[in-house]
């Protein structure tokens, strides 16, 4: 599968670099005074400064939990999930959806957690118990 590219709005580059590089362990790619690219677990994120960011909308209902739409994130292995969870907890980042197991014992069982980056963008991290379930019905 080829990597995806996603461009999104942030309030500033300093706090964006702190969150994505220091907390998540992403590497910085190209940048300018108004945007920065990150290697986001093998995908390309482009963070662009903007003062016009949309309010959160918790219109998504997944396994009985309201989640913000839109959001983005990544599928990671169990070890990476735990490492990111620990880094976020140590940094005092509040979880929108606390780390939990969703669909336990079913096809699609996964660990999931939602946080806001330092610009208020919602991110989801998930780790499937069985990677083959990623696109299963």
Q: What is the pLDDT of residues 21-59, one digit of tens each?
A: 999 999 999 999 999 999 999 999 999 999 998 888 999
How confident is the model over 72-100, as pLDDT tens digits? 999 999 999 999 999 999 999 999 999 99
Contacts 24+ apart (CB under 8 A), 39-42: 40/6, 40/74, 41/74, 41/76, 41/80, 42/3
Confidence bin at 137 (pLDDT 50/70/90): low
Q: What is the pLDDT of residue 54?
A: 84
Domains of the chain: 5-133 (3.10.180.10)
How confident is the model over 101-124, as pLDDT tens digits? 999 999 999 999 999 999 999 999
Confidence bin at 135 (pLDDT 50/70/90): confident
What's the predicted TM-score (pTM) here?
0.92
What DSSP element (H or E) covers 72?
A: strand 72-75
């Amino acid at each position: 599968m080829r990597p995806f590219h996603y461009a999104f709005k942030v309030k500033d580059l300093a706090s964006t670099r702190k969150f994505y590089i220091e907390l998540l362990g992403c590497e910085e790619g190209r940048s300018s005074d108004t945007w920065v690219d990150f290697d986001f677990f093998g995908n390309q994120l482009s963070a662009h400064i903007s003062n016009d960011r949309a309010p959160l909308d918790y219109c998504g209902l997944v396994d009985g939990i309201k989640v913000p739409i839109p959001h983005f994130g990544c599928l990671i292995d169990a070890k990476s999930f735990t490492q990111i969870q620990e880094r976020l907890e140590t940094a005092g980042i509040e979880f929108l959806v606390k780390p939990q197991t969703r669909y336990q014992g079913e096809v699609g069982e996964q660990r999931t957690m939602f946080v806001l980056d330092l610009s208020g963008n919602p991110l989801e991290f998930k780790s499937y118990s069985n990677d083959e379930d990623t696109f299963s019905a």
